[in-house]
Amino acid sequence: MRSMQSTQTTRSPGVSVVTGLLACVTLAGVVASTASAQTVTLDPVGVIPGPVEHVRVQGDYVYVSHHTTFTVWDVSNPAAPRKMGSTEFPEEIWGFRVRGDRAYVGANFFGVGILDLSDPAAPTLLGSHKTLGQTKIGAVYENRVVLIDHMEGMVMVDTSDETAPTAAGSFFLDGYARDVVTSGRMAYATDSPTGLYVFDLSVPGPPEPVGILHAPASPRFIEVQREVGEPSGILAGAGAGQLQIYDASNPAVPVKAATFETPGRASRVAMAGSLVFVADAQAGITIVDISMPSAPTAAGRFQTDAPARDIATTDTHVFVVVGAGERQEGETEVRIFRRSS
Calpha distance 156→27 (Å, rounded): 38
Q: Which amino acid is at 173?
A: L
Calpha distance 99→126 (Å, rounded): 15
Question: Whats the size of the chain, residue-wise?
Answer: 341
Domains of the chain (ranges; CATH) run 18-295+306-340 (2.130.10.10)
pLDDT category, 9, cuts 50, 70, 90?
A: very low
Calpha distance 202→310 (Å, rounded): 31
- Mean pLDDT rounded to a whole number for the chain: 87
pTM for the model stands at 0.87
Q: Considering only CA atoms, which of 120, 111, 114, 113 is closest in space to residue 102? A: 114
Q: Is residue 50 within 8 Å of 332, Cβ to Cβ?
A: yes
Calpha distance 70→132 (Å, rounded): 23
* 234 beta partners: 247
User: How far is the CA of 118 from the CAs of 101, 122, 149, in angstroms?
Assistant: 5, 8, 27
Tell me the pLDDT tens digit for each residue of 64-79.
999 999 999 999 999 9
Tell me the pLDDT tens digit for each residue of 300-322.
999 999 999 999 999 999 999 99
| pLDDT of 30 above 50 | no
The alpha-carbon radius of gyration of the chain (Å, integer) is 19
Calpha distance 66→321 (Å, rounded): 11
Calpha distance 1→105 (Å, rounded): 40
Q: At residue 239, what are phi and psi to the nearest 5 degrees?
A: -155, 140
**Within 13 Å, how many C-alpha atoms sit on residue 104's CB side?**
29
Q: Cβ neighbours of residue 299 under 8 Å, at least 6 residues apart?
A: 31, 32, 37, 38, 39, 40, 275, 287, 288, 289
User: What number is the average pLDDT over the span 196-203?
Assistant: 95
